[in-house]
Amino acid sequence: MLDGVRILAWGTRDALRLGAALLEHAGAQVAFAQSPSDGFAYDVIVVSSDVSPESDRRVIAALKAAGKHIVCDITATGAHDSRERMGFSDAQIQAISGLMDTTGFAAGEPVRIGVPFAELSAALYACAAIAAAVRVERLHGIAQNIDVTLFGCAASALTTFLPAAFAQRTAARVGNRHPACAPWNAYRTRDGWVLICTSTEDQWRKIKGVAGVPQLDDPRFASLRGRVLDVDALDALIERWTTTLTTDQCSKLCEAIGVAAGPIVPVAGLSGEPNFRLRHAQAAQRIDAQGIDGETYRQVPIFGISRLSNADEPTPASCAAPRAGTDDEARVSSAGPLAGIKVVEIGQYTTAPLVGKHLAALGAQVVKVEPPDGEVARSWTPGQAGTSYFFALNNTDKQTIALDLKQQADKAYLAALLADADVLVENLRPGALAKLGFDRESLGRINPRLIYCSISGFGMASAYPARPAFDTVIQAMGGLMDLTQSRGEPVKVGVSGADILGGQAALFAIVASLAGSARQEGAFVEISMQDVAAWCALFAAGNRAPEGIAVACIDGHVWLESDEGCATDLLAARAKAARCGSLTRAAAVAALARAGVRAVPVARVVELVEDADFLADVLSVARDANGAFWPIVKVPYRLSRTPARVRIVPGAPEVVVGAAARASRFDAIA
């Protein structure tokens, strides 16, 4: 992976510290410094210029101009943002990006996500961009600068909320519910809470059957639309059942009938959570013995990597030594860091599609395999021309094909794709691909040098081999919901936090594998979203953020945070003294500033599409094959000499029929 790469972390942001841990796990040698006094004998220098003193900023600018190192600068906002160099905290970025407005209950205030989501996301994206830049330097001798913004990372996570904003609709906070599925919520049990998530009529019938509550047969609940409309009454009846059981009993019942469910695990209780303890025995023992401190998170790796199969045979290296001066830089810049890499993606919704989107933006050729009727998310609303904005946001720059992997001919076509691919990424249930005939040994025979990345809720070696997992369940079982609370009640991160962070972990692991200086055999990359969520939760629990509160104004809320570390009751008193409740957000921010309290407005997602900074730094436009324009989101990292580009929205998946047609179309793809 990144063995032999020398990295200097020089800055104070959490993203640098988190990134250093990730880069070390990928094999890099990482050192920390408070000043550049050692001559910079490094390949990569990671900085955070917006929270650096002016003297350090001058040195950073000189390093960027010299072009001798890969320099990655992680800042709160971009160079073209009106708030440049304001050094916002993670919570303030959550507020101004719209993230905070998506989290919490409909009748309550916006809630700060209990982990530093923007810093975590920036660390993951920065590491992926660094790995891409290392690959470019090794292949072409080109060093370049990378800029990553917390604001861009936070805004790019809004893929489930931006579609409504594009349609000029306001998406309300939904707490632990799903806006289009029911029952889907956190329910009280005899000894705690359980998350139950249903997404099909079959799952609804099974839940109704095991619950044994006669009122669930009411005609109001006969359709999904009816259940969503009467969700308050429905949830009360479901909770009538769950409160007769322990959380463990309820979870096991749901697992037995194939319904996603799980407990809301306290972060301090992760060491006793069966799957966490199975996968991370040493970390669990450390927590039992010492509790959670600032370094505990480092005991939980967010990806595992091993040989693809026992049948692997050495093959030529995929990443040669630098060839400085032998490449046309304009051609390299246009092609992207991953030019020449072929990726097959088998996934849906968020995780694997997010990985494929970024690999394609970095220049890889990505072929997305969809079921015969296309990915379900294509038909979600809102959208245009029969395709949802959500699907477009997550699947730019891919070639899409439809295969029925239950048919032998379609399996043969997939095998042909994989034979010449560099990467396979999928987020099917563990074992699903193997049942179709594509287990690790088979993949090793098809392509001994394939990087196969599997993303799942609980991992391949799991205490829950039959338990389905949705983002909400993983948030609950990974400690995220315990840390994110509204008035004492646990609440999920509004965006699909576990899915997104899991996808980012996979992206980094894949790009780092592709950057390896002498990759000679296939690799299996395993991502457990619960591992990633627990890593984030343990960092947050061991590195507490400053206190803050959301305060109501006449047109929304503002987020208050004090440089003096004021307790929330003192912040509330100052907000009351400033009469925030009778002011607009802008007026309240100004009034609080005069009182010595830092405050920022809590932006609504629908407002972002009219925000000049969002339009300049985050939003872009792509076209589809018919020439129609689509709103899309740029990647939140900028590589100065081999930029990542987001350009095209795919059309309907191509249906390939017949062996000859398959072969000719594969030749065209290749």
Active site residues: 499
Distance, CA of 354 to CA of 319 (rounded, Å) = 24
Q: Which two tokens stand for residue 471?
A: 């983002």
* Chain CA centroid to CA 101, Å: 18
Where do we find the tokens 């379609």?
410
Q: Which two tokens stand for residue 160?
A: 């489930």
Type and span of the H or E element at 434: helix 432-435
How would you classify the pairing of strands 523-528 and 304-307? Answer: antiparallel
Is residue 165 a contact partner of residue 390, using CB atoms and an 8 Å limit? no
Distance, CA of 18 to CA of 641 (rounded, Å) = 25
Task: For residue 74, give every residue at least 6 positions away whose Cβ sits within 8 Å of its Cβ, in sequence order, or none.
Answer: 11, 13, 15, 16, 19, 46, 47, 48, 122, 123, 126, 148, 149, 150
Closest listed residue to residue 427, CA positions, set 505, 519, 319, 349? 349
Beta bridge partners of 7: 30, 44
Residue 340 region, left (φ>0) first, then alpha (ψ -120 to 50), else beta?
A: left
- Bond before 314 cis per omega within 30 degrees: no
Where do we find the tokens 């072009």?
67
DSSP letter assigned to residue 396: T
Task: For residue 230, give every residue at least 6 positions away whose Cβ sits within 8 Å of its Cβ, in sequence order, or none.
Answer: 220, 221
Q: Cβ–Cβ contacts within 10 Å for residue 282, how many?
A: 9
> At 556, is the secondary structure helix, strand, or coil?
strand
Q: Which two tokens stand for residue 105?
A: 């209950």
Closest listed residue to residue 166, CA positions, set 626, 605, 557? 605
Is residue 602 a contact partner of residue 556, using CB atoms and an 8 Å limit? yes
Is residue 301 a contact partner of residue 282, using CB atoms and an 8 Å limit? no
For 346-388, the DSSP string reads E--SSHHHHHHHHHHHTT-EEEEEE-TT--GGGG-SSEETTEE
Beta bridge partners of 401: 369, 654
Q: Which two tokens stand for residue 180?
A: 């289009």
Q: Which two tokens stand for residue 226?
A: 């009816």
User: Three-state SS string across 199-260, please?
Assistant: CCHHHHHHHHHHHCCHHHHCHHHCCHHHHHHCHHHHHHHHHHHHCCCCHHHHHHHHHHCCCE
Task: Give Cα separations from 486 to 103, 268, 605 (angstroms).
Answer: 9, 19, 20
